[in-house]
Amino acid sequence: MNIITNLKNYFKAKSKGDETIKAPDGICPNCWGKQEWDGDFYKKIKVNNITPEHKTYDSFIHEVASKLDKITLKEDILICQTCNISYKK
């Protein structure tokens, strides 16, 4: 599982207007919503028309990734360390 790839896929889908995905793959949807990265993405990336090829886009993705430690679901456990909600595959 590569969180950077999952984040990029997630934001790519969002940019296309896909509202069916609640959180990137492997991330606790409950905590993801609370961290409000969607709003940040909109303010920093979308409004400025920054494309995935741009450096700013990449550093944004890495910034988000660095803050997801506690809400990343482990492959074998699937329990979020922050809110203790468990997820099944």
Q: What is the nearest approach in angstroms of Zn ion to the Cβ of residue 28?
A: 3
Of 41, 45, 68, 42, nearest to 56 by C-alpha is: 45
Binds Zn ion (CB under 5 A): choice among 3, 7, 23, 28? 28
User: Please, which of residues 54-83 interact with Zn ion by CB under 5 A?
Assistant: 71, 80, 82-83
Return the exposure string of 59-82: e unless at least 16 CB atoms fall within 10 Å of the residue's CB, then b: ebbeebbeebeebbbeeeeeebee
C-alpha 8: how far from its chain's center? Answer: 8
How many residues of this chain bind Zn ion (CB under 5 A)? 7
Q: How far is the CB of 71 from Zn ion (least distance, A)?
A: 5
Q: Of the two residues 49 and 84, which places its CB atom closer to Zn ion in the complex?
A: 84
- 43-46: list long-range contacts, CB under 8 Å, 24+ apart: 45/11, 46/15
| Choice from 27, 31, 65, 68 touching Zn ion (CB under 5 A) | 31
Under rule CB under 5 A, which residues in 38-57 are in contact with Zn ion?
A: none
